[in-house]
Structure 1
Protein backbone atom coordinates (compact mmCIF):
# COMPACT_ATOMS: atom_id res chain seq x y z
CA UNK A 1 0.00 0.00 0.00
CA UNK A 2 2.87 2.39 0.68
CA UNK A 3 5.12 1.52 -2.23
CA UNK A 4 5.08 2.63 -5.85
CA UNK A 5 5.08 -0.38 -8.16
CA UNK A 6 5.64 -0.70 -11.87
CA UNK A 7 1.92 -0.73 -12.67
CA UNK A 8 1.24 1.42 -15.72
CA UNK A 9 -2.23 2.80 -14.99
CA UNK A 10 -2.11 4.05 -11.41
CA UNK A 11 -2.83 7.36 -9.74
CA UNK A 12 0.00 8.33 -7.40
CA UNK A 13 0.15 11.10 -4.83
CA UNK A 14 2.59 12.78 -2.50
CA UNK A 15 1.77 15.46 0.05
CA UNK A 16 4.85 17.57 -0.63
CA UNK A 17 4.16 19.96 2.25
CA UNK A 18 1.24 20.54 4.58
CA UNK A 19 0.92 22.95 7.48
CA UNK A 20 0.19 26.51 8.45
CA UNK A 21 3.41 27.65 6.73
CA UNK A 22 2.73 26.18 3.28
CA UNK A 23 0.78 23.55 1.35
CA UNK A 24 1.50 21.63 -1.86
CA UNK A 25 0.23 18.23 -3.07
CA UNK A 26 1.39 16.29 -6.13
CA UNK A 27 -0.98 14.12 -8.21
CA UNK A 28 0.29 11.87 -10.99
CA UNK A 29 -1.36 9.67 -13.59
CA UNK A 30 0.23 8.13 -16.70
CA UNK A 31 -0.75 11.21 -18.73
CA UNK A 32 -0.90 14.03 -16.18
CA UNK A 33 1.29 15.56 -13.48
CA UNK A 34 -0.54 18.13 -11.36
CA UNK A 35 0.14 20.27 -8.32
CA UNK A 36 -2.59 21.38 -5.95
CA UNK A 37 -1.64 24.71 -4.37
CA UNK A 38 1.83 26.21 -4.21
CA UNK A 39 2.21 27.70 -0.76
CA UNK A 40 6.00 27.70 -0.67
CA UNK A 41 8.73 29.29 -2.77
CA UNK A 42 9.33 27.87 -6.22
CA UNK A 43 12.77 26.63 -5.15
CA UNK A 44 11.40 24.76 -2.13
CA UNK A 45 8.69 23.14 -4.20
CA UNK A 46 11.22 22.07 -6.84
CA UNK A 47 13.40 20.53 -4.11
CA UNK A 48 10.44 18.67 -2.60
CA UNK A 49 9.58 17.29 -6.02
CA UNK A 50 13.16 16.11 -6.44
CA UNK A 51 12.99 14.40 -3.04
CA UNK A 52 10.31 12.03 -4.40
CA UNK A 53 12.16 11.46 -7.65
CA UNK A 54 10.13 13.82 -9.80
CA UNK A 55 11.09 16.90 -11.85
CA UNK A 56 8.95 19.97 -11.42
CA UNK A 57 9.56 20.82 -15.09
CA UNK A 58 7.34 17.85 -15.97
CA UNK A 59 4.30 19.26 -14.13
CA UNK A 60 1.66 20.50 -16.57
CA UNK A 61 -1.06 22.02 -14.37
CA UNK A 62 -1.54 23.76 -11.03
CA UNK A 63 -4.89 23.88 -9.22
CA UNK A 64 -5.40 26.55 -6.56
CA UNK A 65 -7.86 26.14 -3.69
CA UNK A 66 -7.91 29.73 -2.37
CA UNK A 67 -5.86 32.89 -2.14
CA UNK A 68 -4.25 32.60 1.31
CA UNK A 69 -0.47 32.87 1.09
CA UNK A 70 0.19 29.39 2.50
CA UNK A 71 -1.60 28.08 -0.61
CA UNK A 72 -0.63 30.52 -3.38
CA UNK A 73 2.81 31.94 -2.53
CA UNK A 74 4.62 30.15 -5.37
CA UNK A 75 1.84 30.16 -7.98
CA UNK A 76 3.15 33.06 -10.04
CA UNK A 77 6.80 32.04 -10.16
CA UNK A 78 6.00 28.41 -10.99
CA UNK A 79 3.54 29.42 -13.72
CA UNK A 80 6.02 31.78 -15.36
CA UNK A 81 9.13 29.62 -15.01
CA UNK A 82 7.60 26.29 -16.01
CA UNK A 83 4.80 27.43 -18.31
CA UNK A 84 2.14 25.83 -16.11
CA UNK A 85 -1.58 26.00 -16.76
CA UNK A 86 -3.17 27.42 -13.61
CA UNK A 87 -6.77 26.70 -12.60
CA UNK A 88 -8.89 28.52 -10.01
CA UNK A 89 -12.38 29.94 -9.72
CA UNK A 90 -13.07 33.61 -10.44
CA UNK A 91 -13.20 34.67 -6.80
CA UNK A 92 -9.81 33.14 -6.14
CA UNK A 93 -8.25 34.61 -9.30
CA UNK A 94 -9.43 38.08 -8.31
CA UNK A 95 -8.32 37.73 -4.69
CA UNK A 96 -4.83 36.38 -5.39
CA UNK A 97 -3.99 38.66 -8.34
CA UNK A 98 -1.91 41.07 -6.27
CA UNK A 99 0.00 38.21 -4.63
CA UNK A 100 1.13 36.22 -7.66
CA UNK A 101 2.05 38.84 -10.26
CA UNK A 102 1.28 38.60 -13.96
CA UNK A 103 0.63 35.25 -15.60
CA UNK A 104 0.19 34.96 -19.40
CA UNK A 105 -3.51 34.94 -20.25
CA UNK A 106 -3.27 31.65 -22.11
CA UNK A 107 -2.07 29.95 -18.89
CA UNK A 108 -4.99 31.20 -16.77
CA UNK A 109 -8.06 28.98 -16.62
CA UNK A 110 -11.36 29.14 -14.75
CA UNK A 111 -12.39 26.14 -12.68
CA UNK A 112 -15.80 26.92 -11.22
CA UNK A 113 -17.08 25.63 -7.92
CA UNK A 114 -19.06 22.42 -8.37
CA UNK A 115 -17.57 21.70 -11.78
CA UNK A 116 -15.82 18.57 -12.97
CA UNK A 117 -12.98 18.95 -15.47
CA UNK A 118 -11.26 16.24 -17.46
CA UNK A 119 -7.46 16.32 -17.68
CA UNK A 120 -7.08 13.53 -20.25
CA UNK A 121 -6.98 10.49 -17.92
CA UNK A 122 -7.82 12.37 -14.70
CA UNK A 123 -11.24 13.77 -13.79
CA UNK A 124 -11.19 16.50 -11.16
CA UNK A 125 -14.29 17.51 -9.20
CA UNK A 126 -14.36 20.78 -7.26
CA UNK A 127 -16.49 21.45 -4.19
CA UNK A 128 -16.95 24.47 -1.95
CA UNK A 129 -15.91 24.72 1.70
CA UNK A 130 -16.55 27.11 4.59
CA UNK A 131 -13.45 29.24 5.07
CA UNK A 132 -12.66 32.95 5.36
CA UNK A 133 -11.47 33.32 1.79
CA UNK A 134 -13.10 34.78 -1.32
CA UNK A 135 -14.38 31.55 -2.91
CA UNK A 136 -12.58 28.58 -1.32
CA UNK A 137 -12.89 25.19 -3.00
CA UNK A 138 -11.13 21.86 -2.82
CA UNK A 139 -10.86 18.90 -5.15
CA UNK A 140 -11.57 15.22 -5.60
CA UNK A 141 -9.47 13.33 -8.15
CA UNK A 142 -10.78 10.33 -10.12
CA UNK A 143 -8.65 7.93 -12.16
CA UNK A 144 -9.19 4.34 -13.23
CA UNK A 145 -11.91 3.71 -10.66
CA UNK A 146 -10.00 5.23 -7.75
CA UNK A 147 -10.39 8.60 -6.02
CA UNK A 148 -8.39 10.91 -3.78
CA UNK A 149 -9.80 13.88 -1.84
CA UNK A 150 -8.05 17.00 -0.55
CA UNK A 151 -10.01 18.81 2.17
CA UNK A 152 -8.28 21.36 4.39
CA UNK A 153 -9.03 24.95 5.42
CA UNK A 154 -12.67 24.62 6.39
CA UNK A 155 -14.53 25.42 9.57
CA UNK A 156 -16.84 22.43 9.24
CA UNK A 157 -17.78 19.68 6.79
CA UNK A 158 -21.38 19.91 5.62
CA UNK A 159 -23.59 16.91 4.91
CA UNK A 160 -23.57 17.92 1.26
CA UNK A 161 -19.78 17.85 1.15
CA UNK A 162 -19.71 14.53 2.96
CA UNK A 163 -21.99 13.13 0.28
CA UNK A 164 -19.65 14.29 -2.48
CA UNK A 165 -16.47 12.87 -0.97
CA UNK A 166 -17.75 9.74 0.79
CA UNK A 167 -15.87 6.45 0.40
CA UNK A 168 -12.81 7.72 -1.47
CA UNK A 169 -9.70 5.55 -1.68
CA UNK A 170 -7.57 8.22 -0.03
CA UNK A 171 -7.95 11.48 1.89
CA UNK A 172 -5.83 14.44 2.88
CA UNK A 173 -7.91 16.02 5.62
CA UNK A 174 -7.33 18.90 7.99
CA UNK A 175 -6.43 18.43 11.64
CA UNK A 176 -5.37 22.00 12.25
CA UNK A 177 -5.39 22.38 16.00
CA UNK A 178 -6.01 20.87 19.40
CA UNK A 179 -8.81 22.97 20.83
CA UNK A 180 -7.36 23.22 24.34
CA UNK A 181 -3.89 24.12 23.05
CA UNK A 182 -5.47 26.87 20.96
CA UNK A 183 -7.63 28.20 23.81
CA UNK A 184 -4.70 28.27 26.25
CA UNK A 185 -2.13 29.56 23.75
CA UNK A 186 -0.74 33.00 23.04
CA UNK A 187 -2.89 33.92 20.03
CA UNK A 188 -5.07 37.03 20.47
CA UNK A 189 -8.70 36.19 21.19
CA UNK A 190 -9.85 37.56 17.84
CA UNK A 191 -7.58 35.07 16.01
CA UNK A 192 -8.71 32.23 18.25
CA UNK A 193 -12.33 33.08 17.44
CA UNK A 194 -11.53 33.08 13.70
CA UNK A 195 -9.87 29.65 13.85
CA UNK A 196 -12.67 28.15 15.96
CA UNK A 197 -15.46 29.61 13.82
CA UNK A 198 -17.47 27.93 11.06
CA UNK A 199 -15.20 29.74 8.57
CA UNK A 200 -11.95 28.74 10.28
CA UNK A 201 -10.21 25.38 10.56
CA UNK A 202 -11.03 21.82 11.61
CA UNK A 203 -9.68 20.73 14.98
CA UNK A 204 -8.26 17.26 15.57
CA UNK A 205 -11.64 16.17 16.92
CA UNK A 206 -13.47 17.74 13.96
CA UNK A 207 -11.19 15.99 11.49
CA UNK A 208 -11.72 12.66 13.23
CA UNK A 209 -15.50 13.13 13.24
CA UNK A 210 -15.57 14.00 9.55
CA UNK A 211 -13.44 10.99 8.67
CA UNK A 212 -15.71 8.65 10.60
CA UNK A 213 -18.64 9.96 8.55
CA UNK A 214 -17.01 9.73 5.12
CA UNK A 215 -14.66 6.77 5.04
CA UNK A 216 -15.88 3.54 3.48
CA UNK A 217 -14.77 0.10 2.46
CA UNK A 218 -12.65 1.56 -0.37
CA UNK A 219 -10.69 3.86 1.93
CA UNK A 220 -7.09 2.74 2.39
CA UNK A 221 -5.01 5.86 3.05
CA UNK A 222 -5.70 8.85 5.29
CA UNK A 223 -3.29 11.77 5.57
CA UNK A 224 -3.65 14.26 8.43
CA UNK A 225 -2.78 17.74 7.18
CA UNK A 226 -2.55 21.47 7.75
CA UNK A 227 -1.41 21.13 11.37
CA UNK A 228 -0.78 24.43 13.16
CA UNK A 229 2.84 24.87 14.22
CA UNK A 230 1.68 26.64 17.39
CA UNK A 231 -1.48 24.79 18.41
CA UNK A 232 -0.87 21.16 17.53
CA UNK A 233 1.68 18.36 17.34
CA UNK A 234 1.70 15.36 15.02
CA UNK A 235 1.52 12.81 17.79
CA UNK A 236 -1.54 14.41 19.35
CA UNK A 237 -3.40 14.76 16.05
CA UNK A 238 -2.62 11.16 15.12
CA UNK A 239 -3.64 9.81 18.54
CA UNK A 240 -6.89 11.80 18.56
CA UNK A 241 -7.97 10.50 15.15
CA UNK A 242 -6.83 6.94 15.78
CA UNK A 243 -8.55 6.77 19.18
CA UNK A 244 -11.83 8.15 17.83
CA UNK A 245 -11.83 5.58 15.03
CA UNK A 246 -11.01 2.68 17.32
CA UNK A 247 -13.88 3.72 19.57
CA UNK A 248 -16.14 3.21 16.53
CA UNK A 249 -14.59 -0.25 15.90
CA UNK A 250 -13.10 0.91 12.60
CA UNK A 251 -10.18 -1.04 11.16
CA UNK A 252 -7.29 1.33 11.87
CA UNK A 253 -4.00 -0.12 10.61
CA UNK A 254 -5.91 -3.09 9.22
CA UNK A 255 -8.44 -1.85 6.67
CA UNK A 256 -6.72 1.52 6.26
CA UNK A 257 -3.67 3.45 7.44
CA UNK A 258 -3.32 6.89 9.01
CA UNK A 259 -0.29 8.91 7.92
CA UNK A 260 1.26 12.14 9.15
CA UNK A 261 2.30 15.02 6.90
CA UNK A 262 4.98 17.64 7.39
CA UNK A 263 5.52 21.28 6.38
CA UNK A 264 9.13 20.57 5.35
CA UNK A 265 9.24 16.94 4.15
CA UNK A 266 7.26 15.18 1.43
CA UNK A 267 5.38 11.97 2.07
CA UNK A 268 6.32 8.95 -0.03
CA UNK A 269 4.91 8.82 -3.52
CA UNK A 270 2.17 6.20 -3.18
CA UNK A 271 -0.46 4.52 -5.29
CA UNK A 272 -4.05 5.42 -4.51
Structure 2
Protein backbone atom coordinates (compact mmCIF):
# COMPACT_ATOMS: atom_id res chain seq x y z
CA UNK A 1 0.00 0.00 0.00
CA UNK A 2 1.03 3.57 -0.67
CA UNK A 3 -0.67 6.68 0.65
CA UNK A 4 -0.69 10.46 0.81
CA UNK A 5 -2.81 12.88 2.82
CA UNK A 6 -3.81 15.29 0.04
CA UNK A 7 -5.34 17.82 2.43
CA UNK A 8 -6.36 17.84 6.07
CA UNK A 9 -7.96 20.45 8.27
CA UNK A 10 -11.16 22.30 9.06
CA UNK A 11 -11.39 23.62 5.49
CA UNK A 12 -11.18 20.31 3.65
CA UNK A 13 -10.02 16.70 3.85
CA UNK A 14 -8.96 14.04 1.38
CA UNK A 15 -6.58 11.07 1.55
CA UNK A 16 -5.16 8.95 -1.27
CA UNK A 17 -4.44 5.20 -0.96
CA UNK A 18 -3.19 2.93 -3.73
CA UNK A 19 -2.10 -0.62 -4.46
CA UNK A 20 -0.84 -2.21 -7.65
CA UNK A 21 -4.51 -2.93 -8.47
CA UNK A 22 -5.87 0.60 -8.21
CA UNK A 23 -6.37 3.68 -6.06
CA UNK A 24 -8.94 5.21 -3.72
CA UNK A 25 -9.79 8.55 -2.16
CA UNK A 26 -11.12 8.82 1.38
CA UNK A 27 -13.37 11.92 1.23
CA UNK A 28 -13.30 14.78 -1.27
CA UNK A 29 -13.69 17.82 0.95
CA UNK A 30 -12.09 20.20 -1.53
CA UNK A 31 -13.25 21.53 -4.87
CA UNK A 32 -12.79 19.22 -7.84
CA UNK A 33 -10.08 21.56 -9.13
CA UNK A 34 -8.12 21.42 -5.88
CA UNK A 35 -8.45 17.64 -5.65
CA UNK A 36 -7.07 17.39 -9.19
CA UNK A 37 -4.22 19.75 -8.31
CA UNK A 38 -3.35 17.73 -5.20
CA UNK A 39 -3.35 14.47 -7.12
CA UNK A 40 -1.18 16.10 -9.77
CA UNK A 41 1.37 16.97 -7.10
CA UNK A 42 1.77 13.28 -6.28
CA UNK A 43 1.85 12.22 -9.92
CA UNK A 44 -1.67 10.99 -10.59
CA UNK A 45 -5.15 12.21 -11.58
CA UNK A 46 -8.84 11.74 -10.90
CA UNK A 47 -8.93 9.70 -14.12
CA UNK A 48 -6.94 7.04 -12.25
CA UNK A 49 -9.15 6.87 -9.14
CA UNK A 50 -11.10 3.60 -8.79
CA UNK A 51 -13.31 4.53 -5.84
CA UNK A 52 -14.21 7.24 -3.33
CA UNK A 53 -15.04 6.38 0.29
CA UNK A 54 -17.18 8.98 2.07
CA UNK A 55 -16.95 9.18 5.86
CA UNK A 56 -19.85 11.58 6.55
CA UNK A 57 -21.84 14.44 5.07
CA UNK A 58 -20.06 17.50 6.51
CA UNK A 59 -18.90 19.91 3.82
CA UNK A 60 -15.19 19.60 4.62
CA UNK A 61 -15.47 15.95 3.54
CA UNK A 62 -17.81 16.15 0.52
CA UNK A 63 -17.26 19.60 -1.04
CA UNK A 64 -16.06 18.25 -4.38
CA UNK A 65 -18.33 15.21 -4.58
CA UNK A 66 -21.11 16.58 -6.77
CA UNK A 67 -18.79 17.87 -9.49
CA UNK A 68 -16.50 14.84 -9.37
CA UNK A 69 -19.46 12.45 -9.65
CA UNK A 70 -20.70 14.38 -12.68
CA UNK A 71 -17.36 14.52 -14.47
CA UNK A 72 -15.90 11.13 -13.63
CA UNK A 73 -17.40 7.64 -13.64
CA UNK A 74 -15.99 6.72 -10.22
CA UNK A 75 -17.74 4.32 -7.80
CA UNK A 76 -18.65 6.14 -4.59
CA UNK A 77 -19.13 4.34 -1.27
CA UNK A 78 -21.10 5.60 1.73
CA UNK A 79 -23.42 4.10 4.31
CA UNK A 80 -27.20 4.13 4.00
CA UNK A 81 -27.87 7.09 6.28
CA UNK A 82 -25.08 9.18 4.78
CA UNK A 83 -26.52 8.59 1.29
CA UNK A 84 -29.86 9.85 2.58
CA UNK A 85 -28.21 13.03 3.89
CA UNK A 86 -26.35 13.54 0.62
CA UNK A 87 -29.65 13.27 -1.24
CA UNK A 88 -31.15 15.92 1.05
CA UNK A 89 -28.20 18.18 0.28
CA UNK A 90 -28.89 17.71 -3.46
CA UNK A 91 -25.55 15.99 -4.01
CA UNK A 92 -26.53 14.26 -7.22
CA UNK A 93 -24.73 10.96 -7.84
CA UNK A 94 -25.82 8.67 -10.68
CA UNK A 95 -27.35 5.46 -9.33
CA UNK A 96 -24.77 3.30 -11.11
CA UNK A 97 -22.02 5.10 -9.15
CA UNK A 98 -23.70 4.65 -5.75
CA UNK A 99 -22.44 1.81 -3.56
CA UNK A 100 -23.49 1.09 0.01
CA UNK A 101 -20.79 0.47 2.62
CA UNK A 102 -22.25 0.29 6.10
CA UNK A 103 -20.47 0.41 9.48
CA UNK A 104 -18.56 -2.69 10.56
CA UNK A 105 -18.57 -4.16 7.07
CA UNK A 106 -15.45 -5.31 5.26
CA UNK A 107 -15.11 -5.09 1.50
CA UNK A 108 -12.29 -6.01 -0.84
CA UNK A 109 -11.50 -2.98 -2.97
CA UNK A 110 -8.46 -2.65 -5.29
CA UNK A 111 -6.77 -5.56 -3.55
CA UNK A 112 -7.25 -4.29 0.01
CA UNK A 113 -9.56 -5.46 2.76
CA UNK A 114 -11.33 -2.25 3.78
CA UNK A 115 -13.21 -2.23 7.09
CA UNK A 116 -15.57 0.54 8.18
CA UNK A 117 -16.19 1.50 11.79
CA UNK A 118 -18.28 3.96 13.78
CA UNK A 119 -16.89 7.18 15.23
CA UNK A 120 -18.57 9.65 17.61
CA UNK A 121 -19.29 12.85 15.70
CA UNK A 122 -22.30 15.09 15.12
CA UNK A 123 -23.12 13.74 11.68
CA UNK A 124 -25.94 11.33 10.87
CA UNK A 125 -23.83 8.11 10.84
CA UNK A 126 -20.11 8.91 10.60
CA UNK A 127 -17.65 6.12 9.88
CA UNK A 128 -13.96 5.77 9.09
CA UNK A 129 -11.85 3.01 7.62
CA UNK A 130 -8.93 0.64 8.01
CA UNK A 131 -7.04 -0.76 5.01
CA UNK A 132 -5.27 -4.12 5.15
CA UNK A 133 -3.03 -5.79 2.58
CA UNK A 134 -0.21 -8.35 2.81
CA UNK A 135 -0.07 -8.11 6.60
CA UNK A 136 0.12 -4.29 6.56
CA UNK A 137 -2.53 -2.02 8.02
CA UNK A 138 -3.45 1.66 7.63
CA UNK A 139 -6.09 3.25 9.86
CA UNK A 140 -7.79 6.59 9.27
CA UNK A 141 -9.58 8.07 12.29
CA UNK A 142 -10.62 11.71 12.53
CA UNK A 143 -13.83 13.61 13.31
CA UNK A 144 -14.53 11.90 16.60
CA UNK A 145 -15.19 13.40 20.02
CA UNK A 146 -13.46 10.49 21.73
CA UNK A 147 -11.83 7.19 20.84
CA UNK A 148 -13.86 4.30 22.25
CA UNK A 149 -12.58 0.85 23.17
CA UNK A 150 -14.34 -0.52 20.09
CA UNK A 151 -12.53 1.95 17.84
CA UNK A 152 -9.23 1.13 19.51
CA UNK A 153 -9.80 -2.58 19.00
CA UNK A 154 -10.37 -2.08 15.28
CA UNK A 155 -7.43 0.25 14.59
CA UNK A 156 -4.89 -1.36 16.94
CA UNK A 157 -1.70 -2.81 15.47
CA UNK A 158 -1.71 -0.51 12.47
CA UNK A 159 1.57 0.13 10.70
CA UNK A 160 0.43 3.67 9.96
CA UNK A 161 -2.25 5.95 11.42
CA UNK A 162 -3.91 9.09 10.11
CA UNK A 163 -5.07 10.32 13.51
CA UNK A 164 -7.06 13.38 14.49
CA UNK A 165 -5.24 15.95 16.61
CA UNK A 166 -7.74 18.76 16.19
CA UNK A 167 -7.14 21.39 18.83
CA UNK A 168 -5.24 22.62 21.83
CA UNK A 169 -7.78 22.89 24.63
CA UNK A 170 -6.40 26.18 26.02
CA UNK A 171 -6.28 27.79 22.57
CA UNK A 172 -9.86 26.72 21.96
CA UNK A 173 -11.14 27.99 25.29
CA UNK A 174 -9.38 31.36 24.90
CA UNK A 175 -10.16 31.72 21.19
CA UNK A 176 -12.71 33.68 19.19
CA UNK A 177 -15.31 30.94 18.69
CA UNK A 178 -18.75 31.38 20.28
CA UNK A 179 -19.18 29.39 23.46
CA UNK A 180 -21.73 27.07 21.84
CA UNK A 181 -19.19 26.16 19.16
CA UNK A 182 -16.50 25.55 21.77
CA UNK A 183 -18.88 23.25 23.66
CA UNK A 184 -19.63 21.35 20.48
CA UNK A 185 -15.92 20.79 19.68
CA UNK A 186 -15.14 19.72 23.25
CA UNK A 187 -18.10 17.35 23.44
CA UNK A 188 -18.19 13.58 22.84
CA UNK A 189 -19.49 14.27 19.31
CA UNK A 190 -16.94 16.95 18.49
CA UNK A 191 -13.22 16.59 17.83
CA UNK A 192 -10.29 15.01 19.67
CA UNK A 193 -7.73 17.36 21.25
CA UNK A 194 -3.96 16.94 20.99
CA UNK A 195 -3.80 15.49 24.48
CA UNK A 196 -6.73 13.11 24.10
CA UNK A 197 -5.35 11.94 20.77
CA UNK A 198 -2.02 11.07 22.37
CA UNK A 199 -3.67 9.16 25.21
CA UNK A 200 -5.66 7.16 22.66
CA UNK A 201 -2.56 6.55 20.54
CA UNK A 202 -0.69 4.93 23.42
CA UNK A 203 -3.41 2.26 23.60
CA UNK A 204 -3.17 1.31 19.90
CA UNK A 205 0.52 1.73 19.09
CA UNK A 206 2.41 -1.56 18.85
CA UNK A 207 5.81 -2.68 17.62
CA UNK A 208 4.33 -2.64 14.10
CA UNK A 209 3.58 1.09 14.19
CA UNK A 210 6.09 3.15 12.23
CA UNK A 211 4.33 6.39 11.30
CA UNK A 212 1.50 8.63 12.55
CA UNK A 213 0.08 11.58 10.61
CA UNK A 214 -1.45 14.24 12.86
CA UNK A 215 -4.54 15.35 10.99
CA UNK A 216 -7.63 17.57 10.93
CA UNK A 217 -5.80 20.34 12.81
CA UNK A 218 -7.94 23.39 13.52
CA UNK A 219 -6.75 26.51 11.72
CA UNK A 220 -7.79 28.71 14.67
CA UNK A 221 -7.18 26.47 17.66
CA UNK A 222 -3.99 24.57 16.92
CA UNK A 223 -0.47 24.91 15.54
CA UNK A 224 1.42 22.09 13.82
CA UNK A 225 4.44 22.40 16.10
CA UNK A 226 2.26 22.54 19.22
CA UNK A 227 0.29 19.46 18.20
CA UNK A 228 3.48 17.48 17.57
CA UNK A 229 5.08 18.62 20.82
CA UNK A 230 1.96 17.82 22.87
CA UNK A 231 1.65 14.33 21.41
CA UNK A 232 5.39 13.65 21.80
CA UNK A 233 5.36 14.71 25.45
CA UNK A 234 2.49 12.41 26.38
CA UNK A 235 3.77 9.44 24.39
CA UNK A 236 7.19 9.81 26.02
CA UNK A 237 5.50 9.34 29.41
CA UNK A 238 4.59 5.84 28.20
CA UNK A 239 8.14 5.17 26.90
CA UNK A 240 7.03 5.46 23.27
CA UNK A 241 10.01 6.72 21.30
CA UNK A 242 9.00 9.29 18.69
CA UNK A 243 12.61 10.06 17.80
CA UNK A 244 13.70 6.65 16.58
CA UNK A 245 10.84 4.12 16.59
CA UNK A 246 7.77 6.06 15.43
CA UNK A 247 7.71 9.09 13.15
CA UNK A 248 5.12 11.82 13.76
CA UNK A 249 4.24 13.78 10.62
CA UNK A 250 2.32 16.97 9.97
CA UNK A 251 -0.49 17.25 7.45
CA UNK A 252 -1.51 20.43 5.67
CA UNK A 253 -4.68 22.01 4.32
CA UNK A 254 -3.04 22.81 0.98
CA UNK A 255 -0.01 20.60 0.40
CA UNK A 256 -0.12 16.78 0.03
CA UNK A 257 2.24 14.69 2.11
CA UNK A 258 4.89 12.76 0.22
CA UNK A 259 3.81 9.32 -1.00
CA UNK A 260 4.60 6.79 1.74
CA UNK A 261 4.86 3.04 1.22
CA UNK A 262 3.44 1.07 4.13
State how far apart, in whole Å, the 2-side matches of 1:47 and 1:98 are: 29
State how far apart, in whole Å, the 1-side matches of 2:224 and 2:142 are: 16
1:56 matched to 2:46? The reply is yes
State how far apart, in whole Å, the 1-side matches of 2:32 and 2:89 are: 14
Match of 2:248 in 1: 258
Match of 1:190 in 2: 180
Match of 1:226 in 2: 216
State how far apart, in whole Å, the 2-side matches of 1:182 and 1:250 are: 27
1:25 matched to 2:15? The reply is yes
Calculate the TM-score normalised by the size of structure 1. 0.95
Q: Which runs of 4+ in 1 moved over 4 A?
A: none
| Offset at residue 99 of structure 1 (A) | 3.6
1:199 matched to 2:189? The reply is yes
Once the two structures are superposed, residues 17-46 of structure 1 have per-residue CA deviations (whole angstroms, 9 ceiling, x without a partner) of: 000000000000000200000000000000
| Structure 2: 5+ residue stretches without partners | none
Match of 2:259 in 1: 269
1:78 matched to 2:62? The reply is no
* Cα-Cα RMSD: 0.9
Secondary structure of the equivalent of 1:212?
helix
| Structure 1: 5+ residue stretches without partners | 1-10
Match of 2:4 in 1: 14
Match of 2:229 in 1: 239
Match of 1:7 in 2: none
What are the residue-to-residue correspondences of 1:99-178 with 2, within 5 Å? Answer: 99=89, 101-178=91-168
Aligned length: 262
Give yes or no for contact 1:77–1:100 (8 Å, CA) kept in 2: no
Calculate the TM-score normalised by the size of structure 2. 0.98
Distance 1:100 1:23, change over 3 A: farther
What are the residue-to-residue correspondences of 1:85-100 with 2, within 5 Å? Answer: 85-99=75-89
State how far apart, in whole Å, the 1-side matches of 2:113 and 2:206 are: 21
Secondary structure of the equivalent of 1:109?
strand
Give yes or no for contact 2:115–2:130 (8 Å, CA) kept in 1: yes
Once the two structures are superposed, residues 75-102 of structure 1 have per-residue CA deviations (whole angstroms, 9 ceiling, x without a partner) of: 1211221211000001111112244532
State how far apart, in whole Å, the 1-side matches of 2:133 and 2:42 are: 21
Once the two structures are superposed, residues 83-131 of structure 1 have per-residue CA deviations (whole angstroms, 9 ceiling, x without a partner) of: 1100000111111224453211010000011000011411100000100
1:66 matched to 2:56? The reply is yes
State how far apart, in whole Å, the 2-side matches of 1:55 and 1:67 are: 24
1:34 matched to 2:24? The reply is yes
